[in-house]
Amino acid sequence: MRIPQRVRELPLHLMLLPGLLFVLVFSYGPMVGIAMAFQKFSVTKGLFGSDWIGMDNFRYVFSLPNTAGVIRNTILIAVMKMVAGLIAPIAMSLLLNEVRLRSFKRIVQTVVYLPHFLSWVILSGILLDVLSPTSGLLNDALASVGIPRVNFLGNERWFPFVLVGTDVWKEFGFGTIVYLAALTGINPALYEAAVMDGASRWQQTLRITLPGILPVVVLMSTLSLGNILNAGFDQVFNLYGPVVYSTGDILDTYVYRLGLVDFQFGVATAVGLFKSAVSLLLIASSYGLAYRFANYRIF
């Protein structure tokens, strides 16, 4: 007896139903709320009663003196993180690849992966202590060799670099996973042949290892393009303060303060929409590129 496909597919629809409902309410629901960006939104009137004001919120926010700086900070911090976040894991995996002592390799990996799993609340708590200008470990060490103390988190010139450095600290170890996986795919016969030809270790790295992982490097850098407006809310929010707003304030923290501190819901939604829309465009193009050049698909 032949059961029609419609009937056979029914359980599959049923399985998807709960997840679909959650996604519709909690992910697509807020997308409806984006309408606020075009309203003079008031909580009492609600989404359906507030007055429509077209692009006024956008015009207003782009006329604010801080907005251009915030966008500049966001891009600058994000790009620096993207570059550092690409180079550090690659260098680290090349180093790890040279290690033959398995136990040593394992210990190093265990240590450097750990910060990835701790939240920015915990890590910021640690950094506030360690980077403190008066009693922090780093400044004590600097002072002991005669370098003047630096207020890393309270100095607008230093702050973006502290963000990049601490982000590398959190993620560079875990970032090696992809490259280490790619390294296992390199044919060992290539190295044997190279040794026969008298290639040094450095030459082997340069001529075999690096080209071997190049496709993954290209893929990872392409995919990271989608993050140009993601400077890392969790990290910045837990480390910044009004003294470093000029170089450390980013779009996400700006939205937070406009919306949930100043209660300018419409304006904050407009900034958020600007960020999401540009990000969507970037992600779509980076995935498009990755698909075309690396034949990469996530599902």
Partner 1 sequence: MVVSRTGSGRIASFLIYAALALIAIVCLLPLLNVLAVSLSGSQYATAGEVKLWPIGFTLSPYRFVIEKPEFLRSMGISLERVALGGLLNLALTVLTAYPLAKERGQFRYRSVYVWVFVFTMLFSGGLIPSYILIKELHMLDSIWALILPGALPVFNVILLLNFFRSLPKELSEAAHMDGAGHWKILWKLYVPLSAPALATISLFTIVGHWNAWFDGLIYMNSPQHYPLSSYLQTVIVNRDLNSLNLSQDMQVLRDLSDRTVKAAQIFLGALPILAVYPFLQRFFMTGIVMGSVKE
Rule CB under 8 A: which of 194-233 touch partner 1? 194-195, 200-202, 204, 209, 216, 233
Residues within window 149-178 making contact with partner 1, judged by CB under 8 A: 169, 173, 177-178
Residue type, 177: I
Provide the minimum distance between the beta carbon of 281 and partner 1 in the complex, in angstroms, as a whole number: 10
Strand partners, 52: 39
- Applying CB under 8 A, among 51, 129, 156, 262 the residue interacting with partner 1 is 129
- Applying CB under 8 A, among 27, 44, 63, 103 the residue interacting with partner 1 is 27
Residue 167 sits at φ, ψ, to 5 deg, of -70, -40
Neighbours of 203 (CB within 10 A): 12
- Check binding of 52 to partner 1 (CB under 8 A): no
- Check binding of 291 to partner 1 (CB under 8 A): no
- Check binding of 111 to partner 1 (CB under 8 A): yes
Window contacting partner 1 (CB under 8 A); options: 55-63, 72-80, 157-165, 180-188: 180-188
- Applying CB under 8 A, among 38, 152, 245, 265 the residue interacting with partner 1 is 265
Residues within window 238-257 making contact with partner 1, judged by CB under 8 A: 238, 252, 255-256
Window contacting partner 1 (CB under 8 A); options: 54-62, 66-74, 77-85, 268-276: 268-276
Extract long-range pairs of 62-66: CB within 8 Å, 24+ residues apart: 66/245, 66/249, 66/254
Burial of 299 (0-12, 13-18, 19+ CB in 10 A): exposed
Provide the minimum distance between the beta carbon of 97 and partner 1 in the complex, in angstroms, as a whole number: 7
Pairing relationship of beta strands 51-52 and 39-40 according to DSSP bridges: antiparallel
DSSP calls for 38-95: GEE--TTTHHHHSEE-TTHHHHHHHHSTTHHHHHHHHHHHHHHHHHHHHHHHHHHHHH
- Check binding of 259 to partner 1 (CB under 8 A): yes
At 115, list the tokens.
């910060």
Which residue has tokens 């550090």? 88
Of residues 156 and 234, the one with the C-beta less far from partner 1 = 234
Window contacting partner 1 (CB under 8 A); options: 48-56, 59-67, 77-85, 99-107: 99-107
